[in-house]
Structure 1
């Protein structure tokens, strides 16, 4: 029997996932968890999400809105939108470099 290759897992950055989730409008934590899982396949634990929310709020990239019943929605700020645009541009450069380096043999060009 051959050796199984290790699973590399998902390449994620929680802050990036949160900013992407909030890019189309304000959401509370529970809705973000489900949105992130839907678009990325990444399951976040509440503690992981709320730690990221705290760090993003400290940077001024998101802001908490008034609570709706017991849930507090968050929205992306202008600075957060700019940070997201910069990160997406970086990811596009990385993807382009990978496609060139891997080439047609890998089906990426």
Structure 2
């Protein structure tokens, strides 16, 4: 029996190092980040120009991803910055390496 293979992503966007942060969840990270970069999503990310992918986690279970997103949103700002800088100290755009 073949099981369905799903991927869910919890991601953090920013506009600059130590800038405004946004935490989101998606099942198609490349599409979602492109939407943010093209300003197709009205709201917080568009208002503050949040289109730099600075942190990313992948999950196979949607409930795990939702739980993690909720957990991160409750974290203190300092903890979020430390999490980003542990994996991405230069706050590089992780989506730059993707092919269009």
- TM-score between the two structures when normalised by the length of structure 2: 0.34
Structure 1 or 2: larger strand share? 2
> Looking at CA atoms only, which structure, 1 or 2, has the larger radius of gyration?
1
- TM-score between the two structures when normalised by the length of structure 1: 0.32
Greater RCO structure (CA 8 Å; 6+ sep): 2
